[in-house]
């Protein structure tokens, strides 16, 4: 009865304990990020970027900016999922491949860019909302992609965001939205924690 | 080579055209939201709520607040995915089932609640970030859950948020983060649009 997607969603846990010393090669990292980038974003803005923190040096730096959490070091990779502010400014470039592929016509793209620019240009709250929204959609896709590859993952928001931006050379128009650690689960992880009863979170109207 | 999760991620499209008149029953809606709620959230806050807009009346109201987009009416259900502000205030209640299940000890929960309260209480930006982040993680899970049930979906952020809050009686501590339409795809939908080349969005350090 349970389809494979439902099974992945229901069996995913926040992996706090990873097997240290296990690595992921470039191909696996590329596949995870390619899948994450298949998430939707407003106007297909793709206002995100991924920094795969894999080396011992880089992990140590990130760990010290993330309340010294051991999993940053024990996971094979810690992905810093960044959201892009002022995403309208790069929308035309982001949509060019859709024009080249014959999916969107140039006049539509011009219209979308004008519309997005009008909405975003002078609205820093919307820019931030959009950066967090898109990066989070991509982060969830990344976690389920990991699940599909029988890897464990954990979303972390407990880190020094300005410190991470400085230490990992984020652009002034980027914010680190969430860190996703990925690797091989060790023993001792919690089961998935119970959720609120459905009547508390669902209304059908 | 492609696992079922990867296949779902890669084959998902933003469905703009749905078969009108097709309905989803309560059981399917409940399953979609139950799966969405399996998304992770900081401290397992579960700072989200889902309004399943299914009736003709409610759809017409929502459509008028969403730039008159036809898909709101043609989709079987339009889910208003809400994020909760001041989520620390409901964290103790959200974690009680984890205590009851013997997963978390009460003293840990007390510590988390104190920590979350200290961080969130006087920081409206963090509260908003967290609401958008959690609701977006849940929304992505909802879209992939729909995919797993061979339904189409579309994430929409083009709507009058204050208008939606009023028309659908959102609490003052809730914001509508994204609308996810779900239903049966009609013909004429775009394929998944191309994404930026990987070297533009991935750095391994």
In a domain, A199, yes or no: no
CA distance B59 to B183: 13
Residue whose token pair is 């994430």: B155
Domain that holds residue A171: 4-187
Strands B48-53 and A152-156: unpaired
Cα angle: B72, vertex B75, B79; to 5 degrees:
70
Cα angle: A111, vertex A114, A116; to 5 degrees:
105
The per-residue pLDDT for range A16-54, each reduced to its tens digit, is 999 999 999 999 999 999 999 999 999 999 999 999 999
CA distance B126 to B103: 27
Q: How many Å from the N-terminal Cα to the C-terminal Cα in chain A?
A: 27
Mean pLDDT taken over chain B: 97
Helix, strand, coil share of chain B (percent; to 5): 50, 15, 35
CATH number where A135 lies = 3.40.109.10
Interchain pair B145, A33: CB under 8 A: no
Please report how the helices A124-148 and B4-11 are oriented relative to each other, as an axis angle in degrees rounded to 10: 150
Determine the length of chain A. 205
The per-residue pLDDT for range B57-95, each reduced to its tens digit, is 999 999 999 999 999 999 999 999 999 999 999 999 999
A147/B contact by beta carbon, under 8 A: yes
CA distance B51 to B142: 13
Chain B residues whose CB is inside 8 A of the A94 CB are 196
Q: Report the complex ipTM.
A: 0.98
Return the DSSP state at A87.
G
The per-residue pLDDT for range A38-94, each reduced to its tens digit, is 999 999 999 999 999 999 999 999 999 999 999 999 999 999 999 999 999 999 999
In a domain, A193, yes or no: no
Cα angle: B60, vertex B50, A199; to 5 degrees:
115
In a domain, A52, yes or no: yes
CA distance B131 to A176: 16
A9/B contact by beta carbon, under 8 A: yes
Q: What is the pLDDT of residue A172?
A: 96
CA distance A155 to A182: 9
B160/A contact by beta carbon, under 8 A: no
CA distance B176 to A118: 21
Give the distance from residue B30's alpha carbon to the nearest chain A alpha carbon, in angstroms.
7
The per-residue pLDDT for range A137-189, each reduced to its tens digit, is 999 999 999 999 999 999 999 999 999 999 999 999 999 999 999 999 999 99
Residue whose token pair is 């896709």: A141
In a domain, A143, yes or no: yes
- How far, CA to CA in Å, does A95 sit from each of A37, A41, A157, B10, B190? 14, 12, 30, 18, 14
Q: What is the pLDDT of residue B138?
A: 98
pTM of the model: 0.98
CA distance B162 to B185: 29
Chain A residues whose CB is inside 8 A of the B111 CB are none
Tell me which residue in A5, A40, A145 faces B148 most closely, judged by beta carbons: A5
In a domain, A204, yes or no: no
CA distance A11 to A8: 5
Chain B residues whose CB is inside 8 A of the A12 CB are 38, 40
Chain A residues whose CB is inside 8 A of the B104 CB are 193
CB B36 within 8 A of CB B141: yes
CA distance A42 to A26: 29
A58/B contact by beta carbon, under 8 A: yes
Q: What is the pLDDT of residue A39?
A: 98
CB B182 within 8 A of CB B151: yes
Return the DSSP state at B101.
T
In a domain, A80, yes or no: yes
In a domain, A198, yes or no: no
> What residue ranges in chain B does DSSP mark as E strands?
48-53, 77-84, 152-156, 174-183, 202-204
Q: Of A122, A137, A52, whose CA–CA distance to A88 is shortest?
A: A122
CA distance B75 to B79: 10
Count how many domains chain B has: 1
The per-residue pLDDT for range B149-199, each reduced to its tens digit, is 999 999 999 999 999 999 999 999 999 999 999 999 999 999 999 999 999
| Per-residue pLDDT band at B1 (split at 50, 70, 90) | confident
Q: What is the CB neighbour count within 10 angstroms for residue A101?
A: 11
Interchain pair A133, B3: CB under 8 A: no
| Per-residue pLDDT band at A1 (split at 50, 70, 90) | confident
CB A159 within 8 A of CB A112: no
Q: Of A83, A16, A15, A91, whose CA–CA distance to A51 is shortest?
A: A83
3-state secondary structure of B191: coil
Share of chain B above pLDDT 70, in %: 100
Residue whose token pair is 């690595």: A23
Token digits of residue B56:
């003709």
Question: Taking the alpha carbons of B55, B60, B65, B68 in that order, is the dihedral positive or negative?
Answer: positive
């Amino acid at each position: 009865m349970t389809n494979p997607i439902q099974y992945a969603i229901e069996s995913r846990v926040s992996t706090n304990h990873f097997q240290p010393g296990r690595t992921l090669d470039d191909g696996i990292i590329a596949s995870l990020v390619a899948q994450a980038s298949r998430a939707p974003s407003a106007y297909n803005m793709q206002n995100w970027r991924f920094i795969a923190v894999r080396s011992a040096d880089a992990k140590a730096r990130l760990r010290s900016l993330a309340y010294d959490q051991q999993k940053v070091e024990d996971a094979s990779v810690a992905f810093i999922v960044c959201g892009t502010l002022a995403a309208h400014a790069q929308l035309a470039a982001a949509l060019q491949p859709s024009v080249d592929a014959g999916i969107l016509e140039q006049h539509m793209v011009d219209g979308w860019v004008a519309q997005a620019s009008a909405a975003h240009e002078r609205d820093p709250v919307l820019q931030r909302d959009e950066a967090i929204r898109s990066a989070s959609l991509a982060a969830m896709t990344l976690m389920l992609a990991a699940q599909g590859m029988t890897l464990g993952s954990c979303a972390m928001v407990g880190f020094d965001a300005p410190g991470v931006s400085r230490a990992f050379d984020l652009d002034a128009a980027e914010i680190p939205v969430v860190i996703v650690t990925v690797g091989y689960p060790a023993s001792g992880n919690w089961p998935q924690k119970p959720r609120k009863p459905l009547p508390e979170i669902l209304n059908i109207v």
